[in-house]
Chains A and B, each alone.
Chain A
Amino acid sequence: MTIDINTVHKISRLARIKIPETEVESLKGDLNRILGWIEQLSEVNTDNVQPLYNISLENMPRREDQINDGNYSNAILANAPEAEFGMFVVPKVVE
């Protein structure tokens, strides 16, 4: 599978990273180089193999379903680039 310019634009939009037009071509090259190298995985037979998502999943302890922290909106907002009235501020989303 090769990535074309349109795909680079599509991924950049999905990733919410603006890529300047001047960088699209070199990024396309890098991505194709990496994906081309990854392609070798297709030679491994993985029929009937269970995917492994995380080593620890089998022994994960559970806790009681109860609230054990909270009430610190000041701490949550402390690093916000813009906050008002105890809320994050963003550009208007609804016209």
Chain B
Amino acid sequence: MTKLTELTLCEARDGLVNKQFSAQELTQAHIEKIEETRALNAYITETPDIALKMAQASDEKLAKKEELRPLEGLPIGIKDLFCTKDIRTTAASKILDDYKPQYESTVTQNLWDAGAVLLGKLNLDEFAMGSSNLTSAYGPVISPWKIEGNDRQFVPGGSSGGSVAAVAAGSALATTGTDTGGSIRQPAAFAGIVGLKPTYGRCSRYGIVAFASSLDQAGPLTKDVRDAALMLKIMASHDPKDATSATIPVPDFEKLLSGNISKLKIGIPKEYRVEGLNPEIDALWAQGIEWLKSAGAEIQEISLPHTKYALPTYYILAPAEASSNLARYDGVRFGLRVPGQTLDELYELTRAEGFGKEVKRRIMIGTYVLSAGYYDAYYLKAQKIRRLIQQDFEEAFKKVDVILTPTTPTAAFAIGEEPKDPVTMYMNDVLTVPANLAGIPGLSVPASFTKEGLPLGLQILGPAFEEGRILNVGYVLEQAAQFKEKALKLRTST
């Protein structure tokens, strides 16, 4: 039998129902894998006792065959940005160290209500600000991927770095992530797994530590496309506690994986052939087009004229919203406090001590672009360009059903070899950010490798609330790419 930690979420589900193993055995196997792979630093907080208790409750339900819930007994990890009641939630920041939420996020509540088992809370870039997981106050996450005969350690991408490393290393069947500018899709591509950013509003933001509220969206990180369909079905819901959460019904995404994309129109945006696009990725993109063509899809070149402005627009809007959202960390209501003589001094010292360098930089940018005299020139201007970017996609989706692009301009970089200039680091998200600005769903599917053996991903974008459609296209790509089969031959696991 395949090792329990090598099963997909759906395979594990079937194995539990068919009594091939118990939820406690499945959970125990993952707890051991977490211990074995601790050097990756994927988890900030491990919750083995809670996991075993939840698994035991699932085994009781499984024995009685009563009301079998969709994720009954399946052990998963949660990005440490989701509030979990009475369980430490850090956002990978010193300023929230030892914060114990008094309530549960809606997404995680949905998962527990469906029977899932909590293995622990996963590492990330501080407040989800980063594309490398190097900004975490709890240290960087190390990718399970290595180059053969080479000691260099690679970043898993970010911000959901712990979430992707855990899935890639087999220390969780699936994990949750959040994506504000690419934080699910970029690390999924770096780690050779599937990452889905749903439509803005598909998953409730209630109880997710806020970064940029108009862009943040939760989604799954999984071993394959079918698992992503299963996870999203459970994570998504309308939630009266989040005014921006959508009232549109949530379909059974798994049932939409027909594998049939005959006559589907695939758009290829010429503006995504950005400067700095790795030639191997360009070749993979061409290969992806061929795969979809042979599956019967029709390929069409399209134009998204404002693409090059998406990233600078994002770096006004996201810091602006962040500077406002992070105003709550004041040393008074929760988290770290550094004493001061006056209340202002207490604020200034607490925030100086509690926030890391990148977070401070973004708060400063956000504060500046919102400050008197600059609001129109920066913030309002960016909101208008955001409209133009959204309209680009609206026009494109009148002509095509989905859009195919690479997920990232390069493969993962080694720790210590990351760009030192903030703007160069920001370029990691150049292909993922437009979907956040437009609020549309995007899926990253692992599709190939660099010649050194590092994973590369393809991204599929669809119109709002068409996650089912992009998952189905991803399913076709997955079958054509045979990534897992190729990875088996390549992979040097930790």
**Tally of A-B residue pairs with Cβ under 8 A?**
167
The B367-396 residues at the A interface (CB cut-off 8 A) are 367-368, 371, 374, 377-378, 380-388, 390
**Chain A contacts with B in 22-58, Cβ cutoff 8 A:** 27, 30-31, 33-35, 37-38, 40-42, 44, 46, 49-57
Is B244 a contact partner of A35 (Cβ separation < 8 A)? Answer: no
Chain B, range 281-340, C-beta contacts under 8 Å to A: 306, 308-309, 312-313, 315-316, 323, 327, 330-337, 339-340
The answer on a CB contact under 8 Å between B364 and A27 is: yes
Q: How far, in angstroms, from A54 to B361 measured CA to CA in the complex? A: 24
> Scoring B residues 389 to 433 as 1 if CB is less than 8 Å from chain A, else 0, what string do you get?
010000000000000000000000000000001110000000000
Question: In the complex, how many angstroms separate the beta carbon of A94 from the nearest chain B beta carbon?
Answer: 11
Q: What per-residue 1/0 map shows which CB atoms of B348-367 lie under 8 Å from chain A?
A: 11011001000011011101
Is B200 interfacial (CB-CB < 8 Å)?
yes
With A79-B102, A91-B343, A93-B343 already in contact, the answer to whether A56 and B200 are too (CB < 8 A) is yes
Return A61 CB to nearest CB of chain B, in Å: 6
Cβ B313 vs Cβ A88 within 8 A? no
Q: Chain B contact residues (Cβ within 8 angstroms of A): what range?
A: 35 or more
Q: Is B476 an interface position by the 8 A CB rule?
A: no
Contact B383 A53 (CB under 8 A): yes
Contact residue among A55, A75, A82 (Cβ-Cβ distance under 8 Å from B439):
A55
Cβ-closest chain B residue relative to A75? B102
Residue A67 lies at the interface, judged by CB distance under 8 Å to chain B: no
8 inter-chain pairs at a CB distance below 8 angstroms, sorted by A residue, are A12-B364, A40-B309, A41-B385, A51-B383, A55-B244, A78-B100, A91-B342, A91-B345
Judging by beta carbons under 8 Å apart, are B384 and A38 in contact?
Answer: no
B246 sits at the interface (CB 8 A):
yes
- A7, B365: Cα distance in complex, Å: 11
Whether a CB of chain A sits under 8 angstroms from the CB of B47 is: no
Binary contact readout A57-95 vs B (1 if CB under 8 angstroms, 0 otherwise) = 101110100000000100110111110000010110100
Complex: A51 Cα to B395 Cα, angstroms: 18
Asked if A16 meets B344 with Cβ closer than 8 Å, knowing A35-B365, A60-B244, the reply is yes
Contact flag A18-B351 (CB < 8 Å), given A55-B200, A56-B200 = yes
Write the nearest CB–CB distance from A44 to chain B, whole angstroms.
5
Q: In the complex where A15-B323, A80-B332 touch, is A51 in contact with B371 (Cβ < 8 A)?
A: no
Q: Is B2 an interface residue (CB 8 A)?
A: no
Q: B247: which A residues are within 8 A, CB to CB?
A: 59, 61
CB distance A88 to B387 under 8 Å? no
Scoring B residues 154 to 189 as 1 if CB is less than 8 Å from chain A, else 0, what string do you get? 000000000000000000000000000000000000
Please tell me which one of the listed residues B240, B244, B371 contacts residue A14 in the complex, with CB atoms under 8 A apart: B371
Question: CA of A20 to CA of B349 in the docked complex: distance in angstroms?
Answer: 10
Known: A34-B315, A90-B343, A91-B346. A81 touches B335 (CB 8 A): yes
Q: Specify which chain A residues have a CB less than 8 angstroms from the CB of B272 in the assembled complex.
A: none
Question: Does chain A have a CB within 8 A of B112?
Answer: no
Q: Say yes or no: B336 contacts A81, CB within 8 Å.
A: yes
Q: Is the CB of A17 within 8 A of B331?
A: no
A81 to B371, CA, bound (A): 30
Q: Which residues of B contact A56 (CB under 8 A)?
A: 200-201, 243-246, 439
Chain A contact residues (Cβ within 8 angstroms of B): what range? 35 or more
Question: Which of A10, A18, A42, A61 gathers most chain B CB within 10 Å?
Answer: A18
The distance from the CB of B349 to the nearest CB of chain A, in whole angstroms, is 6
What string of 1s and 0s marks CB contacts (under 8 Å) between B429-462 and chain A? 0000000001100000000000000000000000
**Which of A14, A52, A90 makes the CB contact (< 8 A) with B383?**
A52
Q: A16-B344, A44-B388, A55-B464 are in contact. List 9 more A-B contacts (CB 8 A).
A: A14-B367, A51-B384, A55-B214, A55-B244, A56-B244, A60-B243, A79-B100, A88-B332, A91-B339
Asked if residues B423 and A37 are in contact (CB atoms below 8 Å), the reply is yes
Which residues of chain A are within 8 angstroms of B340 by Cβ–Cβ distance? 91
Residue from A13, A34, A35 whose CB has the most chain B CB atoms within 10 Å: A34
Contact check, A33 vs B422: say whether CB atoms are below 8 A apart: yes
Minimal Cβ-Cβ distance residue in A for B464: A55
Q: Do residues B244 and A33 form an inter-chain contact, with CB atoms below 8 A? A: no
- Nearest chain B CB to A84's CB is how many angstroms away? 13
Q: What distance in Å separates the Cβ of B436 from its nearest Cβ neighbour in chain A?
A: 10
Q: Which residues of A contact B308 (CB under 8 A)?
A: 40
Chain A residues contacting B423 (CB-CB under 8 Å) are: 33-34, 37
Residue in B243, B312, B331, B387 whose beta carbon sits within 8 Å of that of A41 in the complex:
B312
**Interfacial residues of chain B within 227-253, with CB under 8 A of chain A in the complex:** 240, 243-247
Closest Cβ of chain B to A22, distance in Å, is: 13
Known contacts A33-B422, A44-B388; A17/B364 CB under 8 A: yes
**Given A18-B352, A90-B343, residue A38 in contact with residue B378 (CB < 8 A):** yes
Residues of B within 8 A of A82 (CB): 337
Q: Residues of A contacting B384 with CB < 8 Å?
A: 46, 49-52
A80 touches B309 (CB 8 A): no
* Cβ B312 vs Cβ A37 within 8 A: yes
